Amino acid sequence: MERWVIVNPAAGRGKVGRLSGSILKAAREKGAKAFLTEGPGHATEIARGAPEGARVVAVGGDGTVHEVLRGLAGTEKVLGVVPIGSGNDFARMLGLRRLPWNEALDLALFAQEEAIDLCWVNGEPFGASLGIGFDALVAKKALTAPSFLRGMPRYLYALFGVLKALRLPEGRVVVEGEEVHRGPLLLVAVMNGPAYGGGIPIAPMADPRDGLLSMILARSFTRPGVVFILPRLLLGKHLSHPQVVAFAGREVVVEFAHPVPGHADGELLPEASLYRARVEPLGLRVVGGRAGQKGERPLLSPVGAG
């Protein structure tokens, strides 16, 4: 098996760049081919060039993982992760987040592989999260946040920046062919893992090995309403709110009258008025822990109040 290591020097607000020499050297000493990306999209290009069955390791954050995932989705290549990014929600989903980079590299190169669900939206693969509406605006705002802010502080900075101009679009949500919502929508989160935004537990029940998407709908909210629910969201206790409802299913369609922003794994998507997401059960081979396993859940099972 060939082992390829893709290092994004821009990840972690430049932290990976400062470590890149050591990481490249360590990877090559372990028998891997090691590459340094040169700009957006380069990680995808490198990953596509890896031979079938190769183990391809992304060194960086969720953005780097997403780029590498785009280059190997639908193949027999194996994804490994060395999490040195701002959020690391994909790595958190796999139980990898708190490992030192040298231990994470050993694990990514040599540990046993497993399979998790692979998700798609409008033909784009994603590993941990899809956000539509308010949280996509937050992801966009986060790109302009001060460089010293990382993880959850960066998310909160962006959230309060977007809140100033809050306007809810009218939307329609269809899960497994059944309409579950029509009306104002603050956001729709379609999750493979439990967290996004650097650890925000938006879908505590999500399991990347159950063959289902976990969907969180935040319906009609005022600005004060968003502020008041935030502490509950940070504690993962928001699902009891009357304007929050959750569903599980294999596919979901979200429609709006006008284009609304969306993001996949924190990476902005082209704005669209229609988002069609689906899950490919156990369609992605990865290296990681088995944290967060849960039992099966019935399709279309409401979790929040209706």
Residue 274 has pLDDT above 70, yes or no: yes
- Convert the pLDDT of each residue in 215-263 to its tens digit: 999 999 999 999 999 899 989 999 999 999 999 999 999 999 999 999 9
- Residues 126-136: pLDDT tens digits? 999 999 999 89
Asked whether the predicted pLDDT for residue 301 surpasses 60, the reply is no
Residue 13 main-chain phi, psi, to 5 deg? 55, 40
Decide: 289 and 95 in contact? Cβ < 8 Å.
Answer: yes
Residue that is written with structure tokens 């969180």 in the block: 216
Q: What rounded mean pLDDT belongs to the chain?
A: 91
Residue 205 backbone dihedrals phi, psi, to 5 degrees: -85, -10
For residue 304, pLDDT beyond 60: no
Choose among 80, 85, 88: nearest CA to 104. 80
Structure token digits, residue 296: 């099966």
Average of pLDDT values for 61-79? 96
* pLDDT grade for 303, boundaries at 50, 70 and 90: very low
> What is the full DSSP assignment across 73-130?
TTSS-EEEEEE-SS--HHHHHTT-TTS-HHHHHHHHHHSPEEEEEEEEETTEEESSEE
pLDDT for 8 beyond 60: yes
Average pLDDT over residues 155-173: 89
What is the per-residue pLDDT across 10-31, written as a single tens digit (0 to 9) for each?
Answer: 998 789 999 999 999 999 999 9
Beta-carbon contacts of residue 126 (< 8 Å; ≥ 6 apart): 66, 69, 119, 120, 192, 264, 265
Give the ranges where 167-302 is alpha helix by DSSP (H).
223-234
Enter the pTM of the model.
Answer: 0.89
